[in-house]
Amino acid sequence: MRRHRVLKIIGIAILAVLCIAAFPFFVKWLWNWLMPALFGWRLITYWQALGILVLCKILFGGFHAGRPGPPRHWRRRMFERWEKMTPEEREKFRQGLESRWCPPRATSESKP
């Protein structure tokens, strides 16, 4: 059982390394297919594609410690706020969200 688990972990690690190594090949292929035809730019190598990926990560992704994305504690805080609201405040909150984010609903009165 333990040997099977170790082999599975090694297999997943090898697959992850292969996927990470293959991603710059995909970027290179996509760049060399599109950019020269669209903009007349030069072809790039594998290492230049890897550099573009690293540069994009630095400029747009940053380096986060742990899980990427927004903090997850907002859900707990929102639930606590919701529990403290009165039914009237909850309805007002729902209406505010709907007016801001939901498209207007078609009613039978608005149809010709």
Q: Residue 25 in contact with residue 46, Cβ under 8 Å? A: yes
Q: Residue 51 in contact with residue 28, Cβ under 8 Å? A: no
Mean pLDDT calculated for residue range 67-82:
76
At residue 87 the predicted structure's pLDDT band, cuts being 50, 70 and 90, is very high
Over residues 4-24, the pLDDT tens digits come to 888 899 999 999 999 888 999
The answer on pLDDT for 66 being more than 90 is no
d(CA 58, CA 60): 6
Over residues 12-57, the pLDDT tens digits come to 999 999 988 899 999 999 999 999 999 999 999 999 999 998 898 8
